[in-house]
Amino acid sequence: MCIASPDAGSKATLSAATAVPVQLSLPIHDPSPTYLGQRLRIPVPPPIRRQMDRWGATEVFDVYWQFAAERQRVYIRRLAGGAPPWTSDPILARYRFTNPYRFSDRVSQHLLRHAQYDRPRPAATIALRTLLFKVFNRVDTWESLVAEVGEPTVESFDPGRYGRVLAALRDRGQHIYSPAYIIPNPHFGAEAKYDNHLRLLARLLDDGTIGRLVHARGLRELYEILRHVPSFGPFLAFQYAVDINYSSVTDSGEDGFVIAGPGAKDGIRKCFSSSPNGGETDVIMWLTETQEEHFRRLRLNFPLLAGRRLQPVDCQNLFCEVDKYTRVSHPHLTGNSGRTRIKQVFDPIGRTPLPPLFIPPKWVRSEHHRELSGIGPAASKDSRHP
């Protein structure tokens, strides 16, 4: 359930107690060993079957859930410190795929720990830091900016100083941007793409966009603000809205709203041969609502993280990953993009152990979870400031 702040002017920094990184001794549901695709199915409930038939569910729809369960077990085994191989599935073992829970990925975890919840900060600074981090979406880029210029704040943000750091990185042959998203170059008159992005962020401070983000009540309102930012487009605006929504800038969760990206649309097309164009949001929301039935009918154990179900953004991402997976497992099926191979290979050799999972403190509502995490009392509305 989305929880909107009753006082839009009361956004937000966490108290010192809640700003401490949360290293949960996680209440993970430990699954029994399962090899991808080798469990017997049980009858499909009639309402589920009718919707599957209406949208023309293909064999890839079952692969979607099998992939989600096995990829999550890979993550759990790594999180527990197990040695490779973490799966017997040859495709998962060879290629790089994101985790089923978006917030558990390495870059998202670094954002949470080091850009959003490292210490109490004004909400406007948290929003700016999030966008600065995510525009480049690389941990080493963020660390270089912080090391050379200092912790980014609204008051100290200086596009020129950051641009000089990024120019030095470029001259040393270092990558500045992550390949995870295609980030268009905004037209702000600079020769270098990174300088244009820094000028864009300065514009968002000057034109009041950052201030409007601070007063957003949830994910949908964040998206509606960000989709008007030059060069972002619907998909990037949604992804950045999700990232800001992780933070204490809003009080809301992740349910109730999603935007399908190009990869997800390809995955949906492979899973449902008759799903209507433009109906991707309905498909994703239906999957989110019925996920337990699908894991049950396929006799799959899906280990939850801290009791959280997959959220719409997670189901959206899984469609993108299943599109990639089936380029190898079902090469005869093609999506709208026509892509036929997976670019990134995964090498388990030399992988460092995963750090304990950080969960946004605002998600940890129950006393049981607070006990496990050592989280202090939530910040009061009076202690929050824009």
pLDDT digits (tens, 9 = 90+) for 217-244: 999 999 999 999 999 999 999 999 999 9
Mean pLDDT on 329-335: 90
Q: What is the DSSP string of 60-89?
A: HHHHHHHHHHHHHHHHHHHHTTPPSP--S-
| pLDDT of 381 higher than 80 | no
- Give the pLDDT mean for 367-381: 36
Residues 133, 115 contacting (CB under 8 angstroms): yes
Tens digit of each residue's pLDDT (9 = 90 or more) over 93-122:
999 999 999 999 999 999 999 999 999 999
Q: Does residue 383 surpass a pLDDT of 70?
A: no
Q: pLDDT digit string (tens) for 128-173?
A: 999 999 999 999 999 999 999 999 999 999 999 999 999 999 999 9
Task: Please return the burial class of 20, using the count of CB atoms within 10 Å of its CB with bins 0-12, 13-18 and 19+.
Answer: middle
Instruction: Please report the pLDDT score of residue 349 as a whole number.
Output: 82
User: How far, in Å, CA of 359 to CA of 374, rounded?
Assistant: 12
pLDDT value of position 377: 33
Whole-number Å distance between alpha carbons of 283 and 97 = 22
Mean pLDDT of the chain: 86
Q: What is the pLDDT of residue 9?
A: 38
* pLDDT band at residue 340 using 50, 70 and 90 as cut-offs: confident
Looking at residue 330, what DSSP letter applies? S
Distance from the first to the final alpha carbon of the chain = 24
> Is a pLDDT exceeding 70 seen at residue 365?
no
30-34, 92-96, 377-381, range with greatest mean pLDDT: 92-96
**Nearest Cα to 154, choosing from 251, 249, 232?**
249
* pLDDT of residue 272 exceeding 80: yes
- pLDDT 10s digits, 36-86: 444 567 889 999 999 999 999 999 999 999 999 999 999 999 999 999 999
Q: What pLDDT does residue 40 have?
A: 62
What number is the average pLDDT over the span 193-214? 98
196-206 tens-digit pLDDT: 999 999 999 99
How much of the chain exceeds pLDDT 90, in percent? 75
The set of residues, in sequence order, having a beta carbon less than 8 Å from that of 27 and lying 6+ positions away, is: 306, 307, 368, 369, 372
pLDDT at 384: 34
